[in-house]
Structure 1
């Protein structure tokens, strides 16, 4: 699964010069093609945009000017005042769905007084469904604890609900997922909202500034990363740069995997008070730390330094064996061993889901010490008193959004049923096949509307000089890092110059989008803009370890440590010097 090779080291002087720069977007070479640098403009219209920015199927419900300092966003724990900007609210394509519910593609735009000439599509995570709170259109920059946002940097930003809002009448945990009963809502969520909103937003920008954007970027993590890779494939003529974190581009398959995980872990779980497996009680924190420690024993020094981090992910997969390296308990687990049942369940999870014929239904997972991070537990296992998100979030998404036809809501709300029951009864032949199925009403399968049409081809974006920058935590418990490597390898099979327009950066130890024993604070956006507009190829991006209070999964990694994140398959390798300084490492 891994595409790993040892390449010659970069010159130490070039790397040292690159890493200390602000944001760490540095360079070692110039791309053969790049686009011109964007030029800015001043906001000339705001409160009159409802009339000036008319667009088919669109209603601008409000356009108001927010004075400087009147709006704040909390960045890295600090309430940060925003500059003067125009806030535009609206909706597109209002309709009544086949399920009788009202639908529209809701959006918010924030347009700064001093514009840098760039459009920023903020692609949101999860099931979308909101343009408030963390999804407000500030232009969220990715990486742990960002200290800025796109609005502060002068971008014109849009955020959307992707065509649906949570249904207040839905029952408990399935609120927000029942839009999957409407075929068009599925398509809007998968790709159509981005396709509809992009030209509309550029029209608003043109009316507000007297010119359209010179450069357009789509940025997001998790489902937002998936939006990015889908846009790179479907809308390569509309976007110059894509920043995709932890991109679940095969999200329906990842949802099948969550059902697989629930069943595998149930085999190692004690029964709860309700008689069902208490998955969160199947492994203690000490159990997970044991596995992480054994991974470190085998893999920590592969990059030339024992530092509590595993940078050489590919070699680690061959070096570590759960069966061999983790002791098997003769009795109860005590933090120094795992039972044979625990080891079998964990190995089954890491091997990935399979049907009865033994065919893989998703990618496998990479062993990494981030398994001990709280983000890994919260998704995969939960705690003894709080179930993991694998079943509670994955089950309704699987049932209503990704299965064709969708399940009857009674499956998850009827007497005697639960989200966990759905996961435990999931059939990996009949039920898993539903992600590829269609009906007369649901004419696109979830593997059609949720994924890039041809992930291995980006002809349009590549031809016009666009770039795709992807980062992914090796210990992401939601979307497999191995699946992202598979995406990159598919591009490499089609294009000999893949590195000139698409790159993947692994983040050792990191869980889903942030957190874990990792240097998880970094600025990928500056690197992307420099690549798109100046031709500066990103080889290494400086990353910093946050404090333990900001990142509870930091473990033994010292706060303030810096490391280069390397363009896959290169590895951050110790070259000598301060072990906590990125300048002491080269990407090989």
Structure 2
């Protein structure tokens, strides 16, 4: 267990807007010779298989990254960086596999380490989240997990069991080990605290690493984790079978999901939190009556109603998936409907789910799923988990996170309450990892993984609110280092959600599960102070 260093964290929080300048300059020699010497002196089984590819000194406000990022990703170039040393390392993991590690070593280092995750099945270095972390003064790391590809590319896995092991856990695990040792050698001092941030597959990577290496991190900020991906794709394939083909009488026109069905859910579920504002905060306590949409209802609009077959299809999307009596995967959450046309039900089934089953599920699911629920070794190391998930997530099923949380609680016993070290926060109205549908416009920015990809060059923390009340990473650090448990996080939305200079539109507290935010009945509903966790 750690001794709390409140004075250190207090300095970090007080100086958060200038976090990269809050520490004395260390400025070791950023050169190939120096880093190669550090690598060769590391007492690690990896050292014989690791090679420095490049060492680059990035000056203050400089840029670094990958302009030619894989298809489906923006240019992965961090801008407005602090003065730092960027290091690229290649590690041979087997006779048929290798992976790349990138490390940012800021000259003004906060004595902390931050590992970042990726998304989908993608093979890429997450320079954008690395850049965000470096703004605080973290030495940051990301790995391409052993291949290069888009978040929906799966064919690389075919008959490549070693690459699957790299992607599943080995590249992250060994990258963390090597990075920590290289950082210690470079600065000539120990890392005080180690952290992790990732969403989606990045969330899975973090949970898997805590299960593989309990002492890898002191704190993890985990978003919408695809921790049970073998079951997720089985469920996804099942609901595709229920829905397609689109010309079948059972199929629902996909434009009705984000209009008729979403509005029906909002009409019946919105006010449960005490105010009707378009944001559904407590879907678990809502049980909408979809018979109101039946074409058999008196006065039904023939162009905006559902047949009995279509109502059956709709019910299957929401219901939990069982094979016989065995639970396989939870169904979609109420309020996720606006995202269904894009993520689930287009003109034809997405190939991603069946490709995953074809190329991965039949080979190495045990190497990938983060389903070792007894995480007491991580807890006993002193580790903390702050997990969040959008209630309107149409891609990674929201209830998968509550199921994971409950299974961990059962597996780790009652000696230590789970809330002592693991807290789960749901984000009403948030889609997958970030964003909110038009018309819902819910606050979602808490400095989760990938959220600052959208808010401009050099953005970090929660622009304008760089403190532990609004920034989930700072809140996690305060929990780890100062023992202050996270009781709520205030989510922020600007008038233009990608432009903080447009001014704050809405803020709302997020509450640790099973609490939810309730309007107190007084004042502006868009101000966080008028909501309580209950």
Confirm or deny that 1:52 pairs with 2:11. no
Q: Alpha carbons of 1:336 and 1:236: their partners in 2 closer, same or farther (altered >3 Å)?
A: same
Query: What's the offset of the Cα at 1:114?
Result: 0.6
2:261 is equivalent to residue 270 of structure 1: no
Q: Tell me if structure 2 keeps the 8 A contact 1:34–1:466.
A: no
> Residue 523 of structure 2 aligns with which residue?
577
Unaligned stretches of 5+ residues in structure 1: 1-31, 98-102, 141-148, 168-172, 272-276, 405-444, 552-557
The aligned residue for residue 491 of structure 1 is 408
Unaligned runs of 5+ in 2: 13-22, 41-46, 68-73, 447-470
Query: 2:145 corresponds to which residue?
Result: 162
- Which of residues 210, 220, 224 in structure 1 aligns to 2:198? 220
RMSD of aligned alpha carbons:
3.0
Q: Are residues 1:482 and 2:399 paired?
A: yes
Which of 327, 330, 342 is 2:310 aligned to? 342
Mean CA deviation greater in 542-551 or 218-227:
542-551
Residue pair 2:294, 2:311 contacting (<8 A) in 1 also:
no
The answer to whether the Cα contact below 8 Å between 2:321 and 2:327 also exists between their aligned partners in 1 is yes
Distance 1:254 1:264 in 2: 15
Whether the aligned pair in 1 keeps the contact of 2:114 and 2:139 (CA below 8 Å) is yes
Quick check: 1:261 aligned with 2:234? no
Task: Describe how 1:422-461 pairs up with structure 2 within 5 A.
Answer: 445-446=364-365, 448-452=366-370, 454-455=372-373, 457-461=374-378
* Distance (Å, rounded) in 2 between the aligned partners of 1:158 and 1:334: 56
2:454 corresponds to: none
Please state whether the residue corresponding to 2:280 is helix, strand or coil. coil
1:379 aligns with 2:343: yes
Q: 1:68 aligns with which of 60, 63, 67?
A: 60
Deviation at 1:35, TM superposition (A): 4.3
C-alpha change, 1:52 and 1:130, in structure 2 (3 Å) is: same
- Distance in 1 between the 2:169 and 2:78 partners? 33
Distance in 2, matches of 1:309 and 1:489, equals 25
For 1:361 and 1:578, the matched residues in 2 are separated by 43
Equivalent pair of 1:234/1:453 in contact (CA under 8 Å): no
Q: 1:312 aligns with which of 252, 276, 282?
A: 282
**Cα deviations by residue, 1:83-111 (Å, 9 ceiling, x for unpaired):** 111110111125443xxxxx211111111
CA distance in 2, matches of 1:159, 1:79: 13
Distance 1:328 1:232, change over 3 A: farther
- Matched residue, 1:10: none
Please give the alpha-carbon distance, in whole angstroms, between the structure 2 residues aligned to 1:218 and 1:287: 36
The answer to whether the Cα contact below 8 Å between 1:234 and 1:452 also exists between their aligned partners in 2 is no
TM-aligned CA distance change 1:505 to 1:347, over 3 Å: same
2:474: which partner in 1?
A: 526
Q: Distance in 2 between matches of 1:231 and 1:314?
A: 30
Alignment check: 8 A CA contact 2:295 2:302 kept = no
* Cα distance in 2 between the residues matched to 1:492 and 1:200: 32
Deviation at 1:61, TM superposition (A): 1.0
1:414-452 deviation digits (Å, cap 9, x = unpaired): xxxxxxxxxxxxxxxxxxxxxxxxxxxxxxx40x21123
Partner secondary structure for residue 367 of structure 1: coil
Instruction: Work out the number of aligned pairs and report it.
Output: 466
Secondary structure at 1:532 match in 2: helix
The 5 Å alignment of 1:175-214 reads 175-214=153-192
Structure 1 residues 83 and 297, CA gap change in structure 2 (3 angstroms) = same
Contact residue 33 and residue 535 of structure 1 kept, 8 A: no
1:137–1:157 CA contact under 8 A, matched in 2: no
Q: Is the 8 A contact 2:85 2:107 kept in 1?
A: yes
Match of 1:136 among 116, 127, 144: 127
Q: Distance in 2 between matches of 1:216 and 1:573?
A: 35
TM-score by length of 1: 0.73
Task: Pick 1 or 2: higher relative contact order, CA cutoff 8 A, min separation 6.
Answer: 1
In structure 2, relative to structure 1, the CA distance for the partners of 1:96 and 1:499 (3 Å cut) is same
The one of 473, 476, 500 aligned to 2:420: 500
1:359 to 326, 337, 350: 326
- Equivalent pair of 1:108/1:137 in contact (CA under 8 Å): no
Structure 2 residue 289 is the aligned partner of structure 1 residue 321: yes
Maintained 8 Å contact 2:227/2:371: no
2:421 and 2:326 mapped to 1: Cα distance? Answer: 32
In 1, Cα distance between equivalents of 2:104 and 2:301 = 54
CA contact (8 A) 1:363 1:483 kept: yes
Residue of structure 1 in register with 2:264 after alignment: 294
